[in-house]
Amino acid sequence: MEDLDKVILNFDKSAIWIINITLAFIMFGIALDLRWSTFQNIFRKPKSLLIGLMAQWIGLPIITLALIYFFQPHPSLALGMILVSACPGGNVSNFFSALSKANVELSIVMTCVSSLISIFMTPLVLNYAGNYFESTRSIMQEVSIDWLEVVYAISLIIVLPLIVGKLFMKYYSEWGERIKKPIRLLSMAIFVIIVIMALLNNFEYFLDNIHYVFLLVLIHNLSAILIGFAFSKMARLSLPDVKSLSVEVGIQNSGLGLLLIFSFFSGLGGMAIIAAWWGIWHIISGFCLSFIFSRIDQYDV
């Protein structure tokens, strides 16, 4: 395998701005769907939300370190896995929760809360887990990361759009109802195109390592889904909640991961390929998981 740690992927700076805007639109679209009653319903019985957050921010990073220890991937691939695990859930999880006949309210609230706390959890997990192994620690030391800039970037594309979206719905609710679906579809389409273009522009590197990256992402994604499932089952949650948290932990905001990689890691090859392939693969796995879950209507799993 080519030494991916020495590969810098081709990615135009303008594309970073497009990712910024796209992610902001995605979060804005989530905010248009939020209702205070939704939060109240979940916060009255917060057990499922707390279990989901534990699975997302504790279980997934731990299993990620275990996978890295077992498979011993190249350092940049390993750091890419860590970064993906340090991102909050992606908003497409709400769509897959609906297809799965899961608790969509729980999915929406967890996406929102997880995104909000990613302001401090993403830098914390990345800093700790990224320095856990000597191989990834060397990359972390070579890259100059201003953690305040990371917090600022996450706040700008995650928190601010949520606030703006809520204010928009408060004062322009009729318009909000009209535009929320087009915004969601358009932003997701643009994001998928960006991920595909990132792969096509670096197809040689991707093709040379697809056999290895594919296996890593498949196992990593499956592990994320199983973490959400296991935490939910151990907590004896209802079947709709088990479905929601399995989907929520299994769908990561790889767009945020790509943005951080190209903003703070100079588009380091292995990291970018892992995040980009995650962006494609978790949509495939999300449809597969939804197909299975939609046919399970009894607590017999």
Domain boundaries, the chain: 9-293
Residue with more model confidence, 177 or 128: 128
Residue with more model confidence, 1 or 106: 106
Which has the minimum average pLDDT: 41-45, 135-139, 260-264, 267-271?
267-271
CATH architecture, range 9-293 = Up-down Bundle (1.20)
Contact between 299 and 56 under an 8 Å Cβ cutoff? The reply is no
> Residues 6 or more apart from 274 whose CB is under 8 A from it?
77, 80, 81, 83, 84, 213, 216, 217
The pLDDT score that the predictor gives to residue 193 is 74
Answer whether residue 97 shows pLDDT above 80. Answer: yes
pLDDT band at 167 (very low <50, low <70, confident <90, very high): confident
pLDDT band at 235 (very low <50, low <70, confident <90, very high): very high
Average pLDDT, integer, range 107-111: 85
185-198: per-residue pLDDT in tens?
A: 777 777 677 667 76
Instruction: Determine whether 210 is exposed, middle or buried from the number of CB atoms within 10 Å of its CB (0-12, 13-18, 19+).
Output: middle
Single pTM value for the model: 0.82
Average pLDDT, integer, range 92-118: 83
Answer whether residue 287 shows pLDDT above 70. Answer: yes
pLDDT band at 11 (very low <50, low <70, confident <90, very high): low
pLDDT band at 158 (very low <50, low <70, confident <90, very high): confident
Average pLDDT, integer, range 81-85: 93
Instruction: Determine whether 71 is exposed, middle or buried from the number of CB atoms within 10 Å of its CB (0-12, 13-18, 19+).
Output: middle
Answer whether residue 16 shows pLDDT above 80. Answer: no
Answer whether residue 211 shows pLDDT above 70. Answer: yes
The pLDDT score that the predictor gives to residue 174 is 77
Asked whether the CA dihedral 120, 165, 284, 192 is positive or negative, the reply is negative
pLDDT band at 299 (very low <50, low <70, confident <90, very high): low
Specify the residue for token string 């991961």: 257
Instruction: Determine whether 21 is exposed, middle or buried from the number of CB atoms within 10 Å of its CB (0-12, 13-18, 19+).
Output: middle
Mean pLDDT of the chain: 81
Three-state secondary structure call for residue 268: strand
CA 256 to CA 83: how far, in whole Å?
A: 9
Answer whether residue 9 shows pLDDT above 60. Answer: no
Where does the chain have alpha helices with state H? 13-33, 36-44, 47-54, 60-71, 75-85, 92-99, 104-130, 134-142, 147-154, 160-171, 173-201, 203-234, 239-250, 254-264, 269-293
**In b/e form, how buried is each residue of 220-246, taking b as 16+ CB within 10 angstroms?**
bbebbbbbbbbbbbebebebbbbbbbb
CA 100 to CA 36: how far, in whole Å?
A: 24
Average pLDDT, integer, range 226-252: 93
